[in-house]
Each structure stands twice: as C-alpha cells, then as structure tokens.
Chains A and B, each alone.
Chain A
Amino acid sequence: KAGVTQTPRYLIKTRGQQVTLSCSPISGHRSVSWYQQTPGQGLQFLFEYFSETQRNKGNFPGRFSGRQFSNSRSEMNVSTLELGDSALYLCASSRDAANYGYTFGSGTRLTVV
C-alpha cells in the first residue's frame, strides 16, 4: 500500500522566490494537512483540506497558501520566500483524522539562501 508521497524531497531556493510543494495522499484519504517543522518552533500546523476545501488554518502569514484537487492531491505554495521559511514541510493524510490519526509523508526539506 503506497504511503503519503511528497515531492520534491529537497529544494534550495533564494530569498524572494516562490515555491510549490506537492503531496499525494494515501488512496481513499480525503483529508490532507500540512505541517512545518523547524528546530526552533517544532511542529506547527499550516492548514488542512478536505474535498478541495480548506477547513482549518494555522497562524502563518498569507504568503503560505495551499489547495487540494479533486483527486485529493494537495499543493502548498510559499511566496516571497524568507530565510526563516527554511524547514521540513510535512504532509499528512487521513481517512478520519479524529479516530485514526494522520499518516505523514517523508517531507520536503526546503532551504532558503
């Protein structure tokens, strides 16, 4: 059974650029969430999508956005990159987040230089 697939695995961007990260959830999972992990702030919730609708959003600036497609695949976009955006971005999917929890992907390591 395929897990949550995130691409690319590694990314290096310069300040001011924008970046798009991709996530393919486990087949049948309609809920997709994104988290940012940094040494200083730990794991922080970015947003959650279900059936192409953003249902929940964390405390991140508007430069961070996302979307979900009809096949449940999700993308996350960060515009006007800052050095502080360097982090591991984790995508997670679930069929029922309350009772079964999320399965996380391997993450995309973004480095902003």
Chain B
Amino acid sequence: ELKVEQNPLFLSMQEGKNYTIYCNYSTTSDRLYWYRQDPGKSLESLFVLLSNGAVKQEGRLMASLDTKARLSTLHITAAVHDLSATYFCAVVMGSRGTYKYIFGTGTRLKVLA
C-alpha cells in the first residue's frame, strides 16, 4: 500500500530564513500536489506537479518532483509570518480517469516574527 511521509512534522522557523519540507512516497506515481491548510479551514491548492523534474514557483514557495527518487520538496525562501500553516503533499494514485489522493502526514509550519 502506498505510504506518503512528510518531514519534518513540525517546523518552527524565524522570519527571513530558508527551509525545505520533504515528501517521500513508496510507490510509482508521476503526479503530486501540494496543499496548504490554515487552522479550521479547507485545503488550498498550491502546486500541481505532473512529471519528473517538474518545478513550480509561487512567491516564496518552490516545489519540485523527482519521480525516480519518489521525492518532492517544498522550499521556503525568506519565510514570512503569513506562511504559517500546515502543508500537505498528495500523491495521485489511479488510472483510466479515476484517481484518489494519498495525503502525507502534513507539516505544521510556524514562522516566528
């Protein structure tokens, strides 16, 4: 069964610092998504990674996908308080039009002013 592990589970960092969140998964998939969740809120889509070597950037966040290593990273550059949230990766499993997401454990990020 597919397992998706994120690390770290908790991350407390100072504003202005850089850090990377890792998402490892246990079986073949060439699609992966990153979501953000604020407390009490739903999931907000951040990045869609559809192939090996895909790299997407939005503001201070950059995501990449290495399907051979079964690894995706979410890099935070010069963190600001507004980035405080829980971040989830989701590996896409399925075929022939039917898909389900297997979510990682989530990384709770707290950016300290």
Give the CA-CA distance A98 to B101 in the complex, in Å.
10
Contact among A44, A48, A98 with B31 in the assembled complex (CB-CB below 8 Å): A98
- Indicate if the CB atoms of B92 and A97 lie closer than 8 Å: yes
Total number of residue pairs linking A and B with CB closer than 8 Å: 59
Q: What interface size band does chain B fall in?
A: 20 to 34
Instruction: Please provide the chain B residues from 61 to 107 with a CB less than 8 Å away from any CB of chain A in the complex.
Output: 88, 90, 92, 94, 97-106
Give the CA-CA distance A100 to B31 in the complex, in Å.
10
B-contacting 9-mer, from A66-74, A78-86, A102-110: A102-110
- Which residues of chain B come closer than 8 Å to A100, judged between CB atoms? 48
Instruction: Give, as a whole number of angstroms, the nearest-CB distance from B72 to chain A.
Output: 14
Q: State the main secondary structure of chain B at its contact with A.
A: strand
Give the CA-CA distance A58 to B1 in the complex, in Å.
12
B112 at the binding interface (Cβ < 8 Å): no
- Indicate if the CB atoms of B50 and A99 lie closer than 8 Å: yes
A43-B31 contact, Cβ under 8 Å, with A48-B98, A55-B98, A103-B45: no
